[in-house]
Copies of this chain bind each other. A is one copy, B any other.
Amino acid sequence: MKERVSLLGYALLGLLNQRPGSGYALRKMFASTPIGTFSDSPGAIYPALRRLERQGHIRGRVAQSAGLRRKQVFQLTPRGKATLREWLERPLKREDVVAGLKEVMLRFAFTDEAIGPAASVRLLRDLARELEAYVPTLHTYLREHRAAMPLSGRLALESGIRSYDDLSRWAADALVAYHASARKKGRERRVRS
């Protein structure tokens, strides 16, 4: 029962939560949208879908639309929704930021639709907090090793630092966007009433 879900698995859960679809539709999604960088190979997706189904996170039903080959449309079960929610709500830790932002950004992309803007705001705040703690350590490392580093190594590190700095700024902007969106919704509600 303790079976884990891979990052690809969560990506599939998130997409299927937005709208049920076939394995083929999911592959097209990966191939055509810049949502994240996942392989669109059948050898990754179909086994992943079967794992999720075996674990009870999704359920597929055959939909033979107009005499086409059998096509399975998958959707989340209550259990799958709970699993997705648990992942999205998981407190953000330092390692999540250090180990690469791919997973963090994927979580963020799904959060709003899946569990609402309050969770998105929380994630943004957590991200800003972790970045504030982490980025200075990079600056310190650079300051202390700058002289001993080859030029390309130093520049590569500076690139990493810059991208984290930029992400900090993005997080701040995104929080502003969320507040603006909340205010707008509030106004609309008042106008309608």
Residues of A within 8 A of B (CB): 33-35, 37, 98-100, 102, 105-106, 108-113, 117, 120, 138, 141, 150-153, 155-160, 162-163, 166-167, 170, 174, 177-178, 181
**Quick check: A155 and B174 within 8 Å, CB to CB?**
yes
**Quick check: A37 and B98 within 8 Å, CB to CB?**
yes
By DSSP majority rule, is chain A's interface helix, strand, loop, or mixed?
helix
**Quick check: B152 and A120 within 8 Å, CB to CB?**
yes
**Quick check: A152 and B100 within 8 Å, CB to CB?**
no
Q: Which residues of B contact A163 (CB under 8 A)?
A: 163, 166-167
CA distance A37 to B97 in the complex (A): 11
Q: Which residues of B contact A181 (CB under 8 A)?
A: 151
**Quick check: B37 and A109 within 8 Å, CB to CB?**
no
CA distance A141 to B99 in the complex (A): 28
Q: Which residues of B contact A35 (CB under 8 A)?
A: 153, 156-157
Known: A37-B98, A151-B177. A105 touches B141 (CB 8 A): no
A116 and chain B: residue at smallest CB distance:
B152
Task: Choose among A33, A105, A141, A156 the residue with the greatest number of B CB atoms under 10 Å from its CB.
Answer: A156
A166 and chain B: residue at smallest CB distance:
B166
Q: Which residues of B contact A138 (CB under 8 A)?
A: 34
Q: Which residues of B contact A178 (CB under 8 A)?
A: 151
